[in-house]
Amino acid sequence: MAQAIFSGLFGGSKPSASPVPAGDSDFADFAGAADPSPASFSAIPGTPSFTGSGATPTGSAVPWTRWYNIHERHSLSEFKQEGVILGLMVVIIAIHLLGTSANKKKAKAWITAHAPVLRKEFALVGFGGRGSTVDETEGEGLAKSLASDTLQLPEELLKEKSPQEFATYASGRQNVAFLDVNLTLLKRYSPLTMIAEFGMSLFFDSMSAPAELVEAVLYPFDGREALTVPGQAPGAHELRKDTKSSYDGFVWAIVNKDTMKQLRDDRYDLSITSTKDSSKLPNWATVMSESAEVTDFLLTPELIKAVENAGELLQHLIITDQPIDQPLKLDDTIPKKRLYLSMKLPSSGDYSSVLPLFEYFIRLADTLVAGAHFRAEVMRKVRITREDMVKKLQKADEDEKSEERALEREKAKKIKRDNDLKGLDAKAQKKYLEKEKEKEMRKNQKKQTQRG
């Protein structure tokens, strides 16, 4: 062994490999192993290749897998929740579009039927400027003159305030300052809301069932043309008696009995009237009036016929000069004359039954100006109710002012007392408080004596 080490250090010849002992099994596997040799340079591939003989790992193209095909990695069953959501959205949007379209169609049918009456009675109808003149209407036919207008709804004749509310406006007529008309339709674009409202109306008396209504409010001039008509100087209407458009103020109404109780509860002006059935009217209608003479004047054969034609579509026809809400201040008692008409829309779409009443409603202002000037005895009874309300409000106003004055006096006394106490020493303050306490006790004893 020493010889082998010496030879390795000084470059001697390498010793021959000693044979592995036969009994050492741990090194038996490596005894005949070949010496490792580096691979030749030509056997190492250069640029990686995915085809041909140099392709890896098998010499052919990259193996195809399903990862690159989305239709094989996923299926429609994975998107059930999204599909349900999209389906519901499509249904909701479709219902909304169909509902709003149906409401627009119904509103257009209403204005098409009533526009001839409005154009006949007013110089300006809707929001598109001047309407057709009488000569144009008579020469071409009213239906033809309105054809272009009805194609431009609701911008010209009817304005859409919401998917269920439409409005129109008219002005330019003798005795009438202007007319506001509002259409309220069903919420066809929201069936769940409709069902909820119908259901709640069955359980709560304060909630009425949804209905399609046309509500018109007419504002008469009442002798105030100079305040609204351009070009008239103040006082001009007083100089020309033939243009005076005032009439006596009162409250009178024809109402459907189904709505009578609610109207009396909701409206102050009708709460001061008395209800009386008339044999001239159908059984479903009644009169609410402040005077029998007023009823005799207004209940004309033409009005009775119009009410009968409209049938139970009529909700109410009201002539009033009092506020809807109960007055709380003296300023609220100032008479403001208005005419109200409320009717249900016919489900059939045929407006021939309600048109006569609508036209009579517009011309009612002329009837009032011409003949609503009653005897002094009749108006004295009407004025008593208004004067009683004015007296109540005056008393309430005086009581409120008295309370305010009492509070101011108490406040002034307290300030004076505090100032007096600040200027006294401790002994004087004690004496002052004792004296004040004795005075309060005497005052209480006096009150008890007076009660006894």
| pLDDT of res. 103 | 92
Confidence band for 4, pLDDT divided at 50, 70 and 90: very low
DSSP state of 124: E
Residues facing residue 340 across a β-bridge: 217, 318
* Model confidence at 153: pLDDT above 70: no
All structural domains of the chain with their residue ranges: 84-380, 386-435
Where is average pLDDT lowest: 117-126, 197-206, 353-362? 197-206
Indicate if the pLDDT at residue 240 is higher than 50: no
- The residues that bridge with 319 in the sheet, in sequence order, are 252, 339
pLDDT above 90: residue 328: no
- Residue 219's pLDDT is 95
Residue 356 is predicted with a pLDDT of 95
* Rg of the chain, C-alpha, whole Å: 48
pLDDT at 419: 82
Candidates 400, 271, 272; CA nearest to 329 is 400
Name the pairing type of β-strands 338-344 and 159-162: unpaired
| pLDDT band (50, 70, 90) for residue 126 | confident
Write the DSSP assignment of 95-118 as a string of letters: HHHHHHHHHHHHHHHHHHHHHHHH
Q: Give the mean pLDDT of the chain.
A: 79
Q: Which residue has the higher pLDDT, 332 or 125?
A: 125
pLDDT over 90 for what percent of the chain? 41
Residue that wins the pLDDT comparison between 97 and 238: 97
CB-facing half-sphere around the CA of 213: CA atoms within 13 A = 15
**Mean pLDDT of the 339-354 span:** 93
- Residue 319 has what pLDDT? 96
Widest CA span in the chain: 159
Q: What local confidence, expressed as pLDDT, does residue 130 receive? A: 56
- pLDDT (0 to 100) of residue 148: 47
pLDDT digits over 179-221, tens only?
A: 999 999 999 999 999 899 888 888 887 778 888 999 999 999 9
Q: Which amino acid is at 216?
A: A
Residue 149 confidence (pLDDT) above 70: no
Encoded amino acid at 57, one letter: P
More confident call, 401 vs 234: 401
pLDDT for the residue 330 = 79
Q: Give residue 346's pLDDT band: very low, low, confident or very high (50, 70, 90).
A: very high
Considering only CA atoms, which of 281, 266, 280, 390 is closest in space to residue 340?
Answer: 266
Cα–Cα distance for residue pair 348/273, rounded to 1 Å: 35
Q: Is 136 exposed, middle or buried (0-12, 13-18, 19+ CB in 10 A)?
A: middle
The number of helix segments (H) and strand segments (E) in the chain equals: 16, 10
Of 245 and 304, the structure prediction assigns the larger pLDDT to 304
* Residue 388: pLDDT over 60: yes
Per-residue pLDDT tens digits for 82-115: 999 999 999 999 999 999 999 999 999 999 999 9
Please indicate whether residue 432 or residue 33 has the higher confidence score (pLDDT): 432
Q: Quick one: pLDDT at residue 302?
A: 95
Summarize the confidence of residues 299-309 as an average pLDDT: 95
- pLDDT of 418 reads 82
Q: What is the mean pLDDT of residues 229-246?
A: 53
- Identity of the highest mean pLDDT range in 96-105, 139-148, 386-395: 96-105
The CA-atom distances, in angstroms, between 244 and each of 146, 251, 367, 370 are 33, 21, 13, 10
Both tokens assigned to 171? 């002005």
42/196: higher pLDDT: 196
pLDDT exceeds 50 at position 427: yes
- In tens, the pLDDT along 57-83 reads 554 555 666 566 777 777 888 888 999
Concatenated DSSP letters for 382-451?
HHHHHHHHHHHHHHHHHHHHHHHHHHHHHHHHHHHHHHHHHTS-HHHHHHHHHHHHHHHHHHHHHHHHHH
Asked if 290 and 252 count as a contact pair (C-beta separation under 8 A), the reply is yes
Q: What is the mean pLDDT of residues 22-46?
A: 53
Rounded CA gap, 375 and 83, in Å? 76
Task: Measure the CA–CA gap between 232 and 220, rounded to whole angstroms.
Answer: 17
State the Cα–Cα distance between residues 165 and 158, nearest whole angstrom: 10
200 is written with which tokens?
Answer: 């709640």
End-to-end Cα separation, the chain, in angstroms: 145
Residue 15 has pLDDT above 60, yes or no: no
